[in-house]
Amino acid sequence: MNEYVVTKVEIQKRNNKRVNIYLNEEFAFSCSAELVYKHNICKGKMLDVDYLKDIIYKDNYIRCKRSALYIIEKSYKTEKQMYDKLIKNFDEGVVKECIRFLKEYNFIDDNKFAEMYVNQKIHSQGRNKIKYSLIEKGIKESIIDEKLCSIDNSLEEKIAFDMAKRKYYLIIKSENNINKVYNKLGNYMVKNGYDFDLARYILKKIIKEHNCSEEKNNIQEDNRDELYNIAKKRYDIIIKSEDDPMKIYKKLGTYLLRRGYLWENIRSVLKELI
């Protein structure tokens, strides 16, 4: 069995927690000072190959664990995310042992991660997008499906409807063709991860409201006098602090859209006022 003699033990200048070990007058490896004290590595000590390998492995494990805990301090990770980060700098055996440690002490928990992620993202994304993102992060589909099943359908529908309605008002600022509005809004909903059936239901609901408002407005001529008076009052308030016509136009238009008026009629009134 090959043996080596420790000829020098040197504390690193830039990191006093690390030590350089020299064997047979040549630099051999560096390790944590903790291991040096633990194994009583000192000048003149004889070390065999297996013993050295064990020391180096333990040192890599300590560094890997510290690196993992530092990563978790910054943000919670899935098992796959942690593995992908650690494997860039450490051997697979060390990484796997570190992952076992993290799981044992609940520093990583894919079940908990999925639950937290779903509860956060449900307010801005549909199930499909959430599921795809979790799959990319390495969460098992069985865990994902379990968490997605816990979503309240009525809550999801309300969030989706509110999101779609906000997008609808943005679209109709530049588009008045109902078919194009429908397609753009539908693509937006599907892109954000909502099921086609739910997206279609919400689209019909929004378009129906639009049509009802349009029919009512046609009968009442959009209450044009009322619209003009409201716009004029708001216009007088805005110009007290704003003199840029484009900014006035935008602020007043946005205000009237929030009041539920159609963009076509708002635009007509804006032309008169500005």
Q: Report the DSSP beta bridge partners of residue 5.
A: 46
Classified as helix, coil or strand, 273 is: helix
**Digits of tens for pLDDT over the chain (274 positions)?**
578 898 999 998 888 888 898 989 999 888 888 888 888 888 998 888 788 888 888 888 999 999 999 999 999 999 999 999 999 988 899 999 999 999 999 999 999 999 999 999 999 999 999 999 999 999 999 999 999 999 999 999 999 999 999 999 888 888 777 778 888 898 899 899 998 889 889 988 887 776 645 444 443 444 678 888 999 999 999 999 988 888 898 888 888 877 767 777 888 888 888 8
Those residues with Cβ within 8 angstroms of residue 20's Cβ, 6 or more apart along the chain or in another chain: 8, 9, 10, 11, 12, 27, 29, 30
Contacts for 25-29 with beta carbons within 8 Å, 24 or more apart?
Answer: 28/4, 28/52, 29/56, 29/59
**Structure confidence at residue 130 (pLDDT):** 96
Nearest of 172, 167, 157, 162 to residue 191 by alpha carbon = 167
Query: What does R_g of the chain's alpha carbons equal in angstroms?
Result: 32
CA-CA-CA-CA torsion sign (236, 239, 245, 251): negative
| pTM exceeds cut of 0.75 | no
Contacts for 223-232 with beta carbons within 8 Å, 24 or more apart?
Answer: 224/265, 224/269, 227/256, 227/261, 227/265, 227/266, 227/269, 228/269, 228/272, 230/256, 230/259, 231/256, 231/266, 231/269, 231/270, 231/273, 232/273
Bridging pattern class, strands 18-23 and 46-48: unpaired
**Structure confidence at residue 260 (pLDDT):** 65
